């Protein structure tokens, strides 16, 4: 039986922490001045709600010899059925769709620093585009999970003894995604390699797109700094310069927070998943402790990182730590951050 406390309690602990932190994060967003975040706060809300949905259904990843598999360990939809399998693949696809949300944030940040009127006057069109990108990522990942990623009878039999020792149940009774790289038939090995290569490709292409957009945003910031000093030299209105400086500073803070949002899933979700996918190719064991937290920690760590990266949020949280109130006016913290 699975009696190691890491497996039993860490996912539940981070689930509880996610439901504690994300509502606070949402409260902080919508109690700041609307002029501070503008429509961008709705994208942050989208991400916070996504975090909460993402931890409702508990997934477990486990590896054995030349195979890894993923199951729903607890809940109402554990029993093996076509409907429950679609729910499980949908849960996995939500994880992949986090790449889409980050991509949408990067595009919004790029348009914002260009002072584009599109995100201001036609934000509903941008959100429509965001939903489309999200659905595209979700659909592609769901298709990969459903066709090459679905564990067949051969994979279930291969892990049957290990599954019974680990979970105390029969592997035939669970919905399952899996890959078997060696010691299997040609068809099973082909499907396994195809699934992992496709999963890796989607994730890698997304990360490359983040890096490209980050470099584009960085170059724009360099031009903004040059323009700022040019304004000083030409002695523009002092209030305008001051406002531009505050705006530029806040844009830099938002970009820093977005980069942290991108780095976090790479290191605490994507990298452990890579270990899970690729270590069985070489028969390497011992990463199950990392894999158990790969899909649960992110929903808690991400909003905490954003709160700490943005001074307007950080000052309010630290004020609570000093005995103040989180529910008091946000104006004082905003003034301090400026």
Is a pLDDT exceeding 90 seen at residue 154? yes
Q: Which two tokens stand for residue 96?
A: 């992949």
Average pLDDT, the chain: 80
Residue 261 lies in a domain: yes
Domain count, the chain: 1
Residue 141 lies in a domain: yes
Mean pLDDT of 132-145: 94
Q: What pTM value is reported for the model?
A: 0.79
Please tell me the predicted confidence (pLDDT) of residue 194.
96
Per-residue confidence at 203, pLDDT binned at 50, 70, 90? confident
Is a pLDDT exceeding 60 seen at residue 37? yes
| Structural domain of 282 | 1-314
Maximum mean pLDDT: which of 7-11, 99-103, 135-139, 328-332: 135-139
Residue 332 lies in a domain: no
Residue 223 lies in a domain: yes
Distances (CA, A) of 67 to 63, 157, 183, 270: 6, 11, 9, 18
Decide: 69 and 60 in contact? Cβ < 8 Å.
Answer: no
Sheet containing 67-72, strands listed edge to edge, beginning at the edge strand earlier in sequence: 59-64, 67-72, 177-180
Decide: 59 and 73 in contact? Cβ < 8 Å.
Answer: yes
Please report, for the domain that includes residue 272, its CATH number.
1.20.1070.10
Residue 57 lies in a domain: yes
Please tell me the predicted confidence (pLDDT) of residue 39.
83
Per-residue confidence at 292, pLDDT binned at 50, 70, 90? low
Residue 182 lies in a domain: yes
Residue 22 lies in a domain: yes
d(CA 121, CA 125): 9
């Amino acid at each position: 039986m699975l009696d190691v406390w890491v497996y039993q309690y860490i996912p539940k602990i981070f689930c509880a922490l996610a439901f504690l932190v994300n509502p606070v994060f949402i409260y902080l967003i919508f109690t700041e001045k609307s002029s501070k975040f503008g429509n961008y706060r709705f994208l942050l809300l989208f991400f916070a709600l996504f975090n909460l949905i993402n931890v409702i259904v508990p997934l477990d990843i486990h590896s054995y010899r030349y195979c890894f598999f993923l199951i729903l360990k607890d809940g109402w939809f554990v029993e093996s059925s076509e409907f429950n399998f679609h729910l499980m693949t949908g849960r996995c696809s939500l994880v992949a769709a986090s790449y889409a949300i980050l991509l949408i944030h990067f595009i919004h940040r790029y348009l914002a620093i260009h002072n584009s009127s599109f995100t201001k006057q036609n934000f509903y069109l941008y959100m429509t585009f965001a939903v489309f990108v999200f659905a595209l990522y979700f659909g592609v990942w769901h298709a990969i999970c459903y066709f090459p990623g679905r564990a067949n009878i051969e994979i279930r039999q291969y892990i049957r003894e290990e599954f019974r020792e680990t979970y105390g149940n029969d592997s035939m009774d669970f919905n399952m995604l899996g890959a078997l790289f060696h010691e299997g038939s040609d068809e099973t090995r082909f499907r396994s390699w195809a699934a992992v290569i496709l999963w890796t490709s989607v994730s890698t292409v997304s990360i490359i797109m983040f890096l490209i957009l980050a470099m584009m945003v960085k170059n724009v910031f360099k031009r903004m700094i040059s323009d700022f000093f040019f304004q000083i030299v030409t002695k523009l209105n002092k209030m305008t310069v001051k406002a531009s400086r505050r705006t530029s500073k806040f844009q830099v803070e938002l970009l820093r927070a977005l980069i942290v949002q991108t780095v976090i899933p790479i290191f605490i979700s994507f990298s452990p998943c890579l270990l899970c996918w690729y270590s069985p190719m070489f028969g390497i064991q011992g990463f199950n402790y990392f894999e158990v937290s790969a899909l649960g920690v992110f929903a808690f760590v991400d909003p905490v990182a954003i709160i700490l990266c943005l001074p307007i949020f950080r000052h309010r949280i630290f004020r609570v730590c000093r005995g103040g109130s989180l529910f008091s006016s946000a104006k004082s913290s905003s003034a301090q951050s400026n």
